[in-house]
Structure 1
Amino acid sequence: MGAIDWLVVSLSGGEGAGPIAGLDVAALRRAFDAKFWAHLTTLRAALPRLAPTGSITLIGAISARAAMPGTAGLAAVNGAVEALVKPLATELAPIRVNGVSPGLAATNPNLTGTVIEADGGARLAAFSLGRG
Structure 2
Amino acid sequence: MQLEGRKVIVVGAGSGIGRGVAIAASEAGAHVVLAGRKRETLEATSELMKGPLEVRVLDASVEAEVAAFCEAVGPFDHLVSTVSQGVAGPLTGLGFASIERAFAAKLWAPIYLVKHASSRISPDGSFTFFSGFRAWKPAVGTSITSLVNGGLEAFTKAMAVELAPVRLNAISPGVVDSGSFWDRLGAEARERLFADYANKAPARRVGTTADLAAATLFAMTNPFLTGTVLSVDGGAVLM
TM tier relative to shorter chain: 0.7 to 0.9
- Tell me how large the CA RMSD over aligned residues is: 2.8
Per residue, is there more helix in 1 or in 2?
A: 1
CA distance in 1, matches of 2:120, 2:158: 20
List aligned pairs for 1:67-82, cutoff 5 A.
67-82=138-153
Q: Which residue of 1 aligns with 2:96?
A: 25
Cα 1:120/1:50, change in 2 over 3 Å: closer
The amino acid that maps onto 1:30 is: R
Residues 91-122 of structure 1: CA deviation (Å, up to 9, x unaligned): 11111111111112255255697686379514
Question: After superposition, what is the alpha-carbon deviation per residue over 1:25-46, rounded to whole angstroms, capped at 9, x for unaligned?
Answer: 3311221012210111122121
Q: Does 1:131 align with 2:238?
A: yes
Any gaps of 5 or more consecutive residues in structure 2? 1-72, 207-232
Distance 1:70 1:29, change over 3 A: same
Which residue does the alignment assign to 2:116?
A: 45
The one of 98, 114, 121 equivalent to 2:196 is: 121
Amino acid of the structure 2 residue aligned with 1:10 = T
1:94 aligned onto 2:165 = yes
Cα separation, partners in 2 of 1:86 and 1:118, compared to 1, 3 Å: closer
More strand by share: 2
Q: 1:49 to 1:67 in 2, by over 3 A?
A: same
SS of structure 1 residue aligned to 2:175: coil
Match of 2:77 in 1: 5
Higher relative contact order (CA 8 A, sep 6+): 1
Instruction: Name the TM-score, length of structure 1 as normaliser.
Output: 0.80
CA distance in 2 between counterparts of 1:65 and 1:41 reads 25
Q: Which has the larger radius of gyration?
A: 2
TM-score by length of 2: 0.47
2:192 aligned partner, one-letter code: E
1:105 aligns with 2:170: no
In the alignment, is the contact (CA less than 8 A) between 2:156 and 2:168 conserved in 1? yes
CA distance 1:95–1:124, shift in 2 (3 Å): farther
1: distance between equivalents of 2:142 and 2:78?
30
In 2, are the aligned partners of 1:17 and 1:111 still within 8 Å (CA)? no
Q: 1:66 to 1:110 in 2, by over 3 A?
A: farther
Give the unaligned 5+ runs of structure 1. none
